[in-house]
């Protein structure tokens, strides 16, 4: 089972989902080929020691 991963286009900000093993990806909106993984929403709480 191949898991799809969400990436954000660095030029236009469009979110695309691609399979983890796929190569040669391009943005469907603008054709740009550089992507970043978007940051997660919210914040993470940690217990103090």
Residue 27 contacts by C-beta under 8 Å, 6 or more apart in sequence? 9, 11, 12, 14, 16, 33, 35
Question: How do the domains of the chain map onto residue ranges?
Answer: 4-36
- In the predicted model, what is the mean pLDDT of the chain? 90
Res. 22: pLDDT tops 90: no
Structure-block tokens of residue 7: 């990436």
Res. 21: pLDDT tops 90: no
- pLDDT bin (cut points 50, 70, 90) of residue 14 is very high
Res. 17: pLDDT tops 80: yes
- pLDDT bin (cut points 50, 70, 90) of residue 9 is very high
């Amino acid at each position: 089972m191949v898991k799809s991963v969400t990436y954000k286009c660095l030029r236009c900000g469009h979110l695309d989902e691609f399979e983890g093993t796929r190569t040669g990806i391009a943005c469907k909106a603008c054709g740009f080929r550089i992507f970043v993984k978007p940051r997660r929403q919210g914040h993470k709480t940690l217990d103090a020691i």
